[in-house]
Structure 1
Amino acid sequence: MAVSHPTGVELNMQRQTNGSQPWHAWYRYPRIGLALVYYNYHNPVLDRSYAATVYISKSLFRKPQQELNFRLGTGLAYFSNPFDLDTNHKNSIVSSRISATLQMRFDYDVAVTEHLGVLLGLGLNHYSNGATTKPNLGINLPTIFLGFNYHQQRPFVPLVASPSGLPADLGRNFLNLSTSLGFKQLNPANKQKYLVQSVSVLGGRRVSRKSNLLIGAEGFYDRSLVAQLRDTARTSEKLPDVKKAGVLIGHELLFGQLAFVTHLGFYLYNPYKSNDFYYERLGLKYHFTNNLFGAIDLKVHRGSADVLEFKAGLKL
C-alpha cells in the first residue's frame, strides 16, 4: 500500500465534572466529552474515515492559564472504502465499513483570552473491527494536532474542595456470572460469520476507591474453529475438541457505574491449539443496576484481535 500522510479535523464537546458524584473528586475532576473525527488518508485504497468517540480527559497539571491533559476514549468509525475482494482487494487494513476506535492523546492548553485557549498535542488513533470481518490488520495513526479550546469557565472551581469519604462496598467480596456472544469471519474469501460464545464465573473484591480485583474461570466455544479444522484436517474422524476453558486474573478501573476492564487469562483445557496458551482482554463494563451489568470486550491473542464480545451478567 502506498505511503501517505493523513490529515484530519476534530470537533469535540466536553463537560467538566464538578463533584456531584464521589468519583469526580477521586480522579481530581476529569472532563467527559464527545469527539467527532474526520480523516482523509490521501490514499485511494483507504480513502476517508469518520468517527464518533466518547472520552474522559484527566488533568495531569492545571493552573489558571495553562493545563496538560491526558485523554482516553473509544467509539465507532465509518470507512468509505473498505476491503472488497472484487473492487478493493489491496485494502488488507480495513475490511468493514464500521470499526471500533480507540483514542489516546496528550494535549497542552494555553490561555490567550479569558475563554479561549490554544491547543497543542500528540495522539494515537487506533481502528479495528476486532476480527469480526477479515482481513483486519487495523490502523495505528500517530497524530500531531493544533487547535483551539473555548472554556465556559476558567479557572475551574469544584463544588467539592477535597475527595469525599470511602465507598460503602470497599473491602467487600462479590461474584460475577456472565455470558457473551461474538462473531468471526474465517478468512476474506469466506464471508460467513461464525458464532463465538463464552461463560464466566469470577470472584472479585473492591480494594480501593478506584479498583476491583478479579479471579475466576471461563469457557469458550468458537464455531469458526470447527470450520477451520474441517478445512485443514485430512480426515473428519476423531477431530480434536475446539472448546476451551481457562482461568484469569483481572482488574477493573472504576468510574461510578462505568469500569475499564483488563484481563489476563490462561487456557487449561485447549485440545485444538489454534492459538497461544494465554489471552488478554480489554473492555468497558457498565452497571445498569447494582446487580445487572453489560460489557463490550475485545479478546486478544498476543496483540492480535480474536473476537469482539458482547456480554451480559449478574453481580451477586
Structure 2
Amino acid sequence: MMRVTLRRYAGVGLVMGALAPQVAAGQQPARAVVVGAYAQGAFIIAHSPRVKHLVRAHPTGFELNLQHQTRGEQPWHACHRYPRVGLALLYYDYHTTTLGRSYGAGVYLSKSLWRTARQEVNFRLGGGLGWFSQAFDQSANHKNTFVSSRLNALILTRVEYDVALTNRLGLLAGLGLNHYSNGATTKPNLGINMPTLVLGLNVHSQRPFRPLDQPPAPAPAELGKLFLNLSTSVGYKQRNETDTRKYLVNSVTVAGGKRLNRKSNLLVGVEGFYDRSLRAELRDTARLDRPLPNVKKAGVFLGHELLFGQLAFSTHLGFYLYNPYKSNKFYYERIGLKYAFTNHLFGALDLKVHRGAADVLEFRLGAKL
C-alpha cells in the first residue's frame, strides 16, 4: 500500500514538473524590453549656400538603444497602441576636420503603425542632447557655420521595419532624420539636418507582444471641457557672429483650450513678445535722426497638443498682429514638449521658429485653470 501511494505521488510530481516549464513559458515577463544595436549611414542636407562646403563627406555612425514596451500600465498606453519608450546613444563621424565627431543621447517614443507576430513597422519621435568635438571659432574653425556651440539640442525621427529572424532576434531597417541645433543661443546656427539609413539587430524579451489583460480605462474626466492656460517664458539668444552677447527674450501667453479626445487638446490664444536683441539690431542700422520703432510684438496662434499622460508634444502656428519693427515674416511656428507637474501647474521647453530657422529656445512655466 505504501509503495502504491509513493508511486502515485511520484507520478504526480513528474507530471507537475513537466507542466511547470510550460506554465512559466506562458507567463508574461515583469518587463517587456528591446535592446538594439544599429549601424548608420547619412548625408547632410545643403539647406543654405553657406553650408555647401561642408556636405561633401557622408557621415557614418553607430547607435545603441534600450526600449521599454508599454503594455497598458497607464491609461494612455492603449489609445496610442502601446508605444515603446526608448533611450538611444548615438555616435557619428562626419569625416571632415571642420565638423569632427558627435556624441548624442536622446529619449523617444516609438509608435506602432503595423504589427504582426513576426513583423512590425514603427515610427519614433524623440529628442535629447548632442556634443560636437568641433564648433565654430572665428579664428580656428570659421568654416563651421553648421555648429556654433559644442552642446546642441537633438531631434530624432525615424520609420523602422523589424522582422523576426528567431523567436527573440529581429533584423531592423530604418529611414530617419536627425537634426542638431542650439536654438539660436549662439550663432552662426544653421543646424545640421541628416537623413539616415539604419540597419541593425534587435533582441526582444517578449515576442509576439502581449498587452496586459485588463478592462479599457474610463474616459478622462476633462474630456470635452474647456480650460484656460496662463504662462510666461524666458530665453536667451545671440544676435550674430560678431556680437557675442546674450540677449534676454520674454513672452506672455493666454490660451483657451478644449480636450477633444483621449489624445488631443486644441488651443487658441494671444501672446506678446519682447526680444531685446532686436533693440540692439536697430541701434546698429537705424538713422540717428529718426525715432526707433517699438520692437515688442503681439500675435494670435492656433495650437495642438498630442497627449501622452502627463507629457504633451505641442505645435503652434501664430500670426503677428502688432509688429512695428518687421524683422521677420508675419507668421511664426513653435514646437515643444510640455509636462504637467500637477493638474494646475506645467512647464515646457519650446523652440520658436521663423520659416524653418530657429529664433529662440524658450523655457516656459504656466498654470492651467
Which amino acid counterpart does residue 252 of structure 2 have in structure 1?
V
User: In structure 1, what is the equivalent of residue 151 of structure 2?
Assistant: 98
Give the secondary structure class of the aligned counterpart of 1:228.
Answer: helix
User: In structure 1, what is the equivalent of residue 360 of structure 2?
Assistant: 307
Is residue 244 of structure 2 the alignment partner of residue 191 of structure 1?
A: yes
Quote the Cα distance in structure 2 between the aligned partners of 1:236 and 1:277. 27
Q: TM-score, length-normalised on structure 1?
A: 0.98
Which amino acid counterpart does residue 172 of structure 2 have in structure 1?
L
* Distance apart, 1:236 and its partner CA: 6.6
**Alignment match of 1:287 (pick from 340, 360, 365):** 340
* Distance apart, 1:61 and its partner CA: 1.0
Give the secondary structure class of the aligned counterpart of 1:187.
Answer: coil
How many residues in Structure 1 have an aligned counterpart in Structure 2?
A: 316
**Alignment match of 1:20 (pick from 61, 73, 95):** 73
Q: Would you tell me which structure has more strand in proportion to its own residues?
A: 1
Unaligned runs of 5+ in 1: none
1:239-282 CA deviation, whole Å, 9 max, x = no partner? 00000011111100000000000111111111111011111100
The answer on whether the counterparts of 1:118 and 1:148 sit within 8 Å (CA) in structure 2 is: yes
Give the secondary structure class of the aligned counterpart of 1:197.
Answer: strand
Unaligned runs of 5+ in 2: 1-52
The answer on whether the counterparts of 1:25 and 1:160 sit within 8 Å (CA) in structure 2 is: no
1:263-307 CA deviation, whole Å, 9 max, x = no partner? 111111111110111111000000011111000001011111111
**Alignment match of 1:77 (pick from 114, 130, 149):** 130
- Alignment root-mean-square deviation, CA: 1.1
Is residue 179 of structure 2 the alignment partner of residue 155 of structure 1?
A: no
- Equivalences for 1:204-219 in 2 at 5 Å? 204-219=257-272
Give the secondary structure class of the aligned counterpart of 2:326.
Answer: coil
Is residue 227 of structure 2 the alignment partner of residue 174 of structure 1?
A: yes
Judged with a 3 Å threshold, the aligned counterparts in structure 2 of structure 1 residues 162 and 302 are, in CA distance, closer, same or farther, namely: farther
Q: Would you tell me which structure has more helix in proportion to its own residues?
A: 2
**Alignment match of 1:41 (pick from 94, 99, 114):** 94
Judged with a 3 Å threshold, the aligned counterparts in structure 2 of structure 1 residues 236 and 300 are, in CA distance, closer, same or farther, namely: farther
Which has the larger Rg?
A: 2
Q: Post-superposition, which runs of at least 4 consecutive aligned residues in structure 1 deviate over 3 A?
A: 160-163
Q: Percent identity?
A: 68
Quote the Cα distance in structure 1 between the aligned partners of 2:347 and 2:252. 14
* Distance apart, 1:237 and its partner CA: 4.8
The answer on whether the counterparts of 1:25 and 1:162 sit within 8 Å (CA) in structure 2 is: no
Is residue 165 of structure 2 the alignment partner of residue 112 of structure 1?
A: yes
